[in-house]
Structure 1
Amino acid sequence: MVFVVLDRVAPPPAPATVVEPPVRGPWRALNSPATRVPSHGTHGLGQTHAIDLLLDPTDGSRPRFGSGPQWRAAAEYPAFGRPVHAPLTGTVVRAHDRRRDHRARSGWLSLAYLLLAEGFVRQVAGTRWMVGNHVVVEAPDGTCAVLAHLRRGSLRVRPGDRVTAGQQVAECGNSGNSSEPHLHVQLTDSARLAGSCGRPITVRGGAPDGSDGLPGDDELLGTDAPRVM
């Protein structure tokens, strides 16, 4: 989901950091930096190279946008409650677990309300209201991995904890400025998102042949041909 934030200048060029997959299964990319940069239409909050991942099983269990009611319970989406793993080895520097998981916006009317009303209120309220429940892991080189929109009550870590790449740290939720349960992932140069610079990201084993890669919009993580940005 795009965070509605004031823009900032583009960060300087930097090589992509290779991370471990933060999720397992058929997760589809949305707002991917392999398709456009800045991926979310803004450099604000370090989102230049952020990517959204939505669980999209082949059985069609993920409700399709516009196919039913304007609002749906978050639990109707297969991503809700699925494990989220640390993409980097490092130290947890931020962990927030108090925001509620709200209902998904599954139609144009409810989505417009999210973007024009709720998003504005959350922007004024501050960063935590935008990203919802989240974990930030800082690697030894200072790179910070941000995992956002997590399920309330699901965090398994606290600030100061050491984590290993691939370790489960939380569950996918629908907190913050999110239209449906999904995982928002980004790398930044600071744990303080306001004023941070986004860093390029690529996923280990994201390509069909097992090489490192990143899916573009509507491509499956680790399944379709990747494009690294």
Structure 2
Amino acid sequence: MVNTQGIGPLWYTGVALLVVGQIMRMTLIRAQRPLRAREPLLLRLPVTGRWLALNGPATKVPSHTHSHAQTYAIDLKYVPEGSGRGVTRQAPPFRWLWPLARRPRLYPTYGMPLLAPADGVVVATAGRQRDHLSRMSLPAFLYLYLEGFVRSLGWPNHLLGNYIILDLGEGVYAVFAHLRRGSLRVAAGARVTAGQEIAECGNSGNSSEPHLHFQLMDGPDVMTARGVPFAWHYRDDDGVERIGVPEDTTHCVPVAPLPDRSA
């Protein structure tokens, strides 16, 4: 598009790279499709307060895509009690044109603490990527779509941003993505207990606005692992306690302690 000499070697090279990248992406998606169905692993919700579920497996599977072990991934945004009824601290709305982007600190989710969903060991972390501006306008969202494709061709941290991977035992690993730069409380090799604060929500990596991306997988490497289903013990907005995963656009509040798994 920027080649003033018209169609030529540079143009053909760019098109070829895009085609190769798309083929690689589709190959990765097929390779990481779960091979068998398995029972969801019951965990504690890794947050405190009231959260909105988006892009979750209760609504569709794969919830995101099979690549990067995201088959059963879910996105969560913090929504303070009473938001929309005079509460001042609520997320700025999506705008068609202006402002193009906003600072992440304007969103209630930014800086919210994240908790270990079970006892485990930290196997990998990354925490130096910046928390970029939001993508909550039409031009910025279109940019996010192109940005996400380019990020998917790079290293995993280009997508995940700052992240923590926990070994929960029995071949199951938990991923926390899009964390706030400088907020990680743990390092590789550290042991954590259920409910321990390990980081804060941020807006790093492939993210439209501050939120938590959470997933389970059957290996420590998002490039080769496959997604694993999970369930939480939570309360919905009607006060009903549930065990499962909240559907998209519904709210959840953690219920503790977890029920006995042997019950």
Distance 1:123 1:46 in 2: 13
Distance 1:134 1:158 in 2: 11
- Structure 1 residues 102, 209: closer, same or farther in 2, change over 3 A? same
Correspondence for 2:37: 13
Distance 2:142 2:194 in 1: 37
Q: Deviations over 1:12-38 (max 9, x none)?
A: 101001111111112100001000000
- SS of the residue aligned with 1:121? helix
Q: Deviations over 1:105-124 (max 9, x none)?
A: 111110110111x2233222
Q: Tell me whether 1:27 sits opposite 2:56 in the alignment.
A: no
Q: Tell me whether 1:75 sits opposite 2:94 in the alignment.
A: no
The answer to whether the 8 A contact 1:206-1:214 is kept is no
- SS of the residue aligned with 1:222? strand
Q: Give the letter aligned to residue 180 of structure 2.
A: R
- Which of 41, 52, 55 pairs up with 2:78? 55
- State the TM-score, normalizing by the size of structure 1: 0.90
- Which of 143, 162, 170 pairs up with 2:172? 143
User: Offset of 1:222 from its aligned partner?
Assistant: 3.2
- SS of the residue aligned with 2:45? coil
Distance 1:209 1:141 in 2: 31
- Which of 236, 243, 252 pairs up with 1:221? 252
- Which of 118, 124, 149 pairs up with 1:88? 118
The answer to whether the 8 A contact 1:88-1:137 is kept is no
Q: Deviations over 1:71-130 (max 9, x none)?
A: 0000010000010111121100011101110000111110110111x2233222211110
Please list, as runs of the form range in 1=range in 2, the aligned pairs for 1:35-54 lying within 5 A after superposition.
35-40=59-64, 42-54=65-77
What percentage of aligned pairs have identical amino acids?
A: 44
Q: Tell me whether 1:108 sits opposite 2:121 in the alignment.
A: no
Q: Give the letter aligned to residue 118 of structure 2.
A: L
Distance 1:47 1:193 in 2: 8
Q: Deviations over 1:28-54 (max 9, x none)?
A: 0000100000001x1001000000001
Distance 1:43 1:120 in 2: 15
Q: Tell me whether 1:201 sits opposite 2:230 in the alignment.
A: yes
- SS of the residue aligned with 2:105? helix
Q: Deviations over 1:53-77 (max 9, x none)?
A: 0112212611111275120000010
The number of residues matched between the two structures is 218
Correspondence for 2:148: 119
- Greater relative contact order (Cα 8 A, min sep 6): structure 1 or 2? 1
Distance 1:214 1:136 in 2: 20
User: Offset of 1:194 from its aligned partner?
Assistant: 0.3
Unpaired runs of at least 5, structure 1: 224-229
Q: Give the letter aligned to residue 147 of structure 1.
A: F
- Asked which structure has the greater CA Rg, the reply is 2
User: Offset of 1:206 from its aligned partner?
Assistant: 4.5
User: Offset of 1:211 from its aligned partner?
Assistant: 3.8
- State the TM-score, normalizing by the size of structure 2: 0.79
Distance 1:132 1:18 in 2: 26
